[in-house]
Amino acid sequence: MDGGHNKFLESMVVWLDITAPRYWWQQFDTYRVGISKQSESTMHTLMRGKLVVDDFEDRFIPMMFLRRLNEYIQKENFTAVKTMLPEGFLQRRIVCANYKALRHIVGQRADHRLSEWQIFCGVMQDNLQYAEFI
C-alpha cells in the first residue's frame, strides 16, 4: 500500500475533536502535511473564567497554585497566567486530517512513551471506519 500506491488515502478525510494537554499538542504540531487545526486560543480559554482542577491533565494540581492562577485571571494579567501555566493544561482543537497523515502518525507514535500517544493511536485504530488502511 505504500511506495506511492496509497495516494487515495489523501482524499479520505477525518474530523477529530481532541482535548489534550499542552505537552502533547507540542508534539502533535510536528505533523503539518495533510492536517489542519481549529484551536481554542490559549488567551481566550485562559481568560474566560475561573480555572478548575478538571482543566488540567494532572488532577492533583496544588490548590495554592490554582488559586494563584485564578487571582491573575481575575486581575486580567494574561502574561502572568501564561507564564505560570502548567504543561498539563488541557486544550481542545478540532483537527481535519486524512488517512495518509493518520497512518504516518500512528506508525511513528503507537509505541511512544507518552501514554496520550498510545491512547490516540488506539482510538484511531478502534474507531476509524477503514482502520485497516491505518
Whether the per-residue pLDDT at 1 is higher than 60: the answer is: no
pLDDT of residue 12: 94
Q: What is the pTM of this model?
A: 0.83
At 6-55, the pLDDT tens digits run 889 999 999 999 999 999 999 999 988 778 887 777 777 888 889 999 99
- Where do we find the cell 482510538? 123
Q: Show Cβ contacts of residue 5 under 8 Å, excluding neighbours closer than 6 positions.
A: none
Q: What is the CATH number of domain 7-133?
A: 3.30.1360.170
pLDDT of residue 28: 94
> Backbone phi, then psi, for 97, in 5-degree steps?
-135, 175
Domain ranges of the chain: 7-133
Name the nearest CA neighbour of 10 among 83, 107, 104, 106.
Answer: 104
Q: CA 103, CA 121: separation in Å to the nearest integer?
A: 9
At 63-88, the pLDDT tens digits run 999 999 999 999 999 999 999 999 99
Q: What does the chain come to in residues?
A: 134
pLDDT of residue 21: 94
- Mean pLDDT estimate for the chain: 90
